[in-house]
Structure 1
Amino acid sequence: MQKKIVVLTGAGMSAESGISTFRDSNGLWENHDIMDVASPIGWKKNPKLVLDFYNARRAQLKEVQPNRGHEILAELEQSFNVQIITQNVDNLHERAGSSNILHLHGELVKVRGEFSDEESIYWENDINLGDVNENAEQLRPDIVWFGEQVPAIDFAIPHMQSADIVIIIGTSLQVYPAAGLMHYAKSHVPVYYIDPNPATIYDLKNPLEVLPMSASEGMEILKEKL
């Protein structure tokens, strides 16, 4: 029976591919105040700004490619049962060939009606004011914004509880509830943390190895270890 690797990825996973990290040092995301473009308040105040912002992110997806880190995670499926839990809203894990991906914070290539929480429609192009679902609700990005629930966390926890190996890549471990997921792993399970600027991890009972480097560099090393 294959060992189960559970991988938690954050913005640093996609940084090498040219996707800007969510939290730049100035607190802005692509020169926007995060609350203006990633909160229900921002949506209510200026839905066109929010749609334009995510339309630009969606267009950028077509210009970037998965990096070596994404590819190695897909290759690990030849020897392991790999479950990816990502905080990222891009589709680079999918494009690299990974099979099992849980998006905690939604997906850029999906939309939903603004009042239809359970809805998820595949959507590659721009969303415009006036684009509606079958209930005549304005379409919005199927993204979890600040102040909204993270329903996928209920699916992520059992995965972490059943892991034989945990890999954390490219996350500052500041965004909850995702940052707390590693604490659900069994205490004997090894945790590998890859990040060029790793955060300090407190209260972790597991064996921990920190690889302070990029996703691609860290995964090249870890692939040999595993």
Structure 2
Amino acid sequence: MIRVLPADDQSLVRAGFRALLDAQPDIEVAGESADGEAAVRAVRELRPDIVLMDIRMPVLDGLAATRRVTGDPGLGAVKVVMLTTFGLDEYVFEAIRSGASGFLVKDTEPDEPLRAVRAVVAGDALLSPGVTRRLIAEFAARSKEPAAAGALDRLTEREREVMALVGIGLSDEEITRRLVVSPLTAKTHVSFTMVKLGARDRAQLVVPAYESGLVLPG
């Protein structure tokens, strides 16, 4: 059973997520929060698998709340999916940098949150929509924060290649086909790359892939 905690200051949004998620046989709502501070407390108490975290919330905004969750070693198993709107695209890059495993546009089809929850629990980054990749590429290019100088030196050539493919949003299955390797080999390369770079999950490989020039915007 996948346990999800929606955090949004709009009660109607939370109710919508609760109705949608609780109707699934493999998903349950562990709790809900109306502000970022309450969300962090709820995560520490309830230990959900996924937090659906709105970016703009009172008391503590979603980005700050995400950093508290992802920065707590005791909450390493909790994944955060940011909820955004087209008007808040400037926060997308910062959300990934803050440790989010991906993000959802609020105004989306009902099956998209379900796909997102299942994908993130399975270990995939929620970065598949083309618009998402373009946004991350754009904001990574604008970033004034330089990539760690020696970070990529720890990677083999194959691991750099895999990191670039993750950066453009390819799944393990797509990487398997692109490199003509076994599924286990693809997963192993992704895992080793994450460990060497201290990435919380594969979403955290996207930002350095662009910042380092392994992937070029556009």
TM-score (norm 1): 0.35
Structure number with greater Rg is 1
Query: Higher helix share goes to which structure?
Result: 2
Higher relative contact order (CA 8 A, sep 6+): 1
